Amino acid sequence: MQDSALSTAGLASRLATLVGSDHVLTSTDAAPYCNDWRKRYHGQALCVVRPGSTAEVAAVVRACADSGTPIVPQGGNTSLVGGATPDADGRSVVLSLGRMHAIRRIDAANLTLTAESGCVLQQVQEAAAAAGHLFPLSMASEGSCTLGGNLGTNAGGTQVLRYGNTRELCLGLEVVTPQGDIWDGLQGLRKDNTGYDLRDLYIGSEGTLGIITAATMKLFPMPRVQLTAWAAVPSVQAAVDLLGLARQHLHAGLTGFEMMSRFALTLVDRHFPQLHVPLYRDTPYCVLLENSDFDGEESARARFEALLEAALASGCVTDAIVAESLSQAQALWHMRESISLAQSEEGLNIKHDISLPVSAIPAFVAETDAALGQAVPGVRIVNFGHLGDGNLHYNIQAPEGQDPAIFLREQEPGINTLVFDAVARHGGSISAEHGIGLLKRDTLPHYKSPVALALMRSLKQALDPRNLMNPGRVLGH
């Protein structure tokens, strides 16, 4: 192998011969790819390369391997944990998959869709719908995040309690290895016991073991009826009780169950008053629930109304509204999905993407709210998330009038420890759907068992012994 200082000097030119000079970006053209969505991480890249096919990805990886150049795979650049931002040393090549956005195949009989990693999630949803099917992965960033990023982080979203995370929706992958080989595992098989499950190895690996270039995903029949309600609940325990009632009445038809605190909705109302957020002023929490049914509308609506009547009678709901049209339902979901944007408008904040057993959530929230209030008087807690599958976005905003940047710098380490220790005591995880990236890399060893970390390091060493795939993420250097 050539001396890396000499070989990297001409790497951009070599990459230009592989993918075309228009698709190798440097200097100011590369800048948008070197900053993360939250504007917390700012790096530099040797260049940004935008291959247009799997063969070009493999050629780029081989060229980088020849020169010992690290690669940072990037999809929609919507990571919330710094997982797709290059370091500041300018040594890495950012490999953007944005040009690889083809829907390769829809197999109606097999209920599968094969798409390239650069497909924006919304594009995949729309392709499935045009063919008369449902692709249920859905989240606030679906207009900009990509399928490859969803797979790389094992993204969750709003319908996990019915359809599962991205992992459960994936039947096969196409991957370029750190050596530049191509593994074609795109068969849409639901049963395949022929050794280790390589697919599951790459899903959630955040680009540290290889580059996912395409995937075969499950499709589902399109529901005949979709019913949406927005309910006021007096406590977190009441929201959990409502979830139990919803499961009893709706069974598998329960596809969405989101909990939002009053302060989370206050921020939406403050920064997006045109949305007209309902009910939140007179209740500690609101719940957004959705029923997707395959029966006739009359029977589905009867079950939905019976649920709400039982909830009101039991006291776990104090008031509720039911969307009377698709546009009203979309408006309610838009309010929920605007919470993160409203937080951004309010200022820098400390984000926690945590998961807990649903049964442990009321105690966790009560204990941690109290502990934070004592540790940082005036702190504002933005608690919302996918209660149906135990995933909370338990975010912390600076006290009113305090500079958010100073608050973040001075308080983040202590607040993280307080929250993560409470998560561990209640049997939870410090990352539910966002991944580890750079943000939680140094925290992970405190909450992951030494045996698990050793196994992860062994896999990394076996597959990427030179540590060229997204180095410094998840497990560090």
CA–CA distance, 221 with 219 (Å, rounded to integer): 7
pTM of the model: 0.89
Residue from 375, 339, 323 nearest 261 by CA: 339
Q: Tell me how far CA of residue 41 lies from CA of 79, 82, 152, 343, 389, in angstroms.
A: 11, 6, 19, 18, 30
226 neighbors 294 (Cβ within 8 angstroms)? no
* Contacts with 385 (C-beta within 8 Å, 6 or more apart), sequence order: 258, 259, 391, 392, 393, 394
Instruction: List CB contacts of 126: < 8 A, sequence separation 6 or more.
Output: none
> What's the confidence (pLDDT) of residue 3?
45
Give the fold, CATH level 3, of 225-340. Alpha-Beta Plaits (3.30.70)
**Long-range Cβ contact pairs of 34-41 (< 8 A, separation 24 or more):** 34/85, 34/86, 34/94, 35/85, 36/77, 36/79, 36/82, 36/84, 36/85, 37/77, 37/78, 37/79, 37/80, 38/80, 38/344, 38/351, 40/82, 40/439, 41/82, 41/85, 41/438
Q: Which CATH number fits domain 103-221: 3.30.465.10, 3.40.640.10, 3.30.1360.30, 3.20.20.70?
A: 3.30.465.10
Q: Given this model, what pLDDT does residue 386 score?
A: 94
Owner of token pair 């008087």: 377
What does R_g of the chain's alpha carbons equal in angstroms?
Answer: 23
What is the residue-wise DSSP string for 210-265?
Answer: -EEEEEEEE-EEPPSEEEEEEEEESSHHHHHHHHHHHHHHHGGGEEEEEEEEHHHH
Helix, strand, coil percentages in the chain from 3-state DSSP, rounded to 5: 45, 20, 35
DSSP assignments along 142-181, one per residue: TTT-BHHHHHHHT---TTHHHH--HHHHEEEEEEE-TTS-
**Please, what is the angle between helix 339-346 and helix 262-271, to 10°?**
70
Note whether 94 and 86 are within 8 A (CB): yes
Q: Does domain 347-425 have CATH number 1.10.1750.10?
A: no
**What is the per-residue pLDDT for 281?**
94
CA–CA dist 368, 386 (Å, integer):
18
CA 313 from centre of chain: 36
Q: Which residues contact 404 (CB under 8 A, 6 or more apart)?
A: 346, 347, 348, 349, 397, 398
Q: Which CATH number fits domain 4-96: 3.30.43.10, 3.40.50.2300, 3.20.20.10, 3.40.50.880?
A: 3.30.43.10
Q: What is the pLDDT of residues 282-323, one digit of tens each?
A: 999 999 999 998 777 888 888 999 999 999 999 999 999 999
Res 367: pLDDT: 97
Please indicate whether the domains covering 4-96 and 225-340 agree at the CATH topology level: no
In one-letter notation, the amino acid at residue 249 is H
User: What is the predicted pLDDT for the residue at 9?
Assistant: 62
Give the pLDDT confidence score for residue 7 in this predicted structure: 54
Q: How far apart are CA 255 and CA 162, in angstroms?
A: 5
CA distances for 127 relative to 51, 97, 120, angstroms: 23, 19, 11
pLDDT at position 8? 59
Residue 344 burial (CB count, 10 A): 15
* Total count of residues recorded for the chain: 477
> If you count DSSP H runs as helices and E runs as strands, how many of each does the chain have, helices first?
18, 19
Report the alpha-carbon distance of residue 432 to residue 267 in Å, rounded: 23
Tokens standing for residue 101 = 């956005």
Please state the domain extents for the chain: 4-96, 103-221, 225-340, 347-425
Number of other residues whose CB lies within 10 A of the CB of residue 459: 15
What does each of the 477 residues of the chain score in pLDDT, given as a tens digit? Answer: 444 444 556 898 899 999 999 999 988 888 888 887 777 778 888 999 999 999 999 999 999 999 999 999 998 888 777 778 888 888 999 999 999 999 999 999 999 999 999 999 999 999 999 999 999 999 888 888 999 999 999 998 888 889 999 999 999 999 999 999 999 999 999 999 999 999 999 999 999 999 999 999 999 999 989 999 999 999 999 999 999 999 999 988 999 999 999 999 999 999 999 999 999 999 999 999 999 987 778 888 889 999 999 999 999 999 999 999 999 999 999 999 999 999 989 998 999 999 999 999 999 999 999 999 999 999 999 999 999 999 999 999 999 999 999 999 999 999 999 999 999 999 999 998 888 888 889 999 999 999 999 999 999 999 999 999 999 899 876
pLDDT of residue 77: 82
Burial state string for 213-250 with b = 16 or more CB within 10 A and e = fewer than 16: bbbbbbbeeebebbbbbbbbbeebebbbbbbebbbebb
Q: What is the largest CA-CA distance in the chain?
A: 75
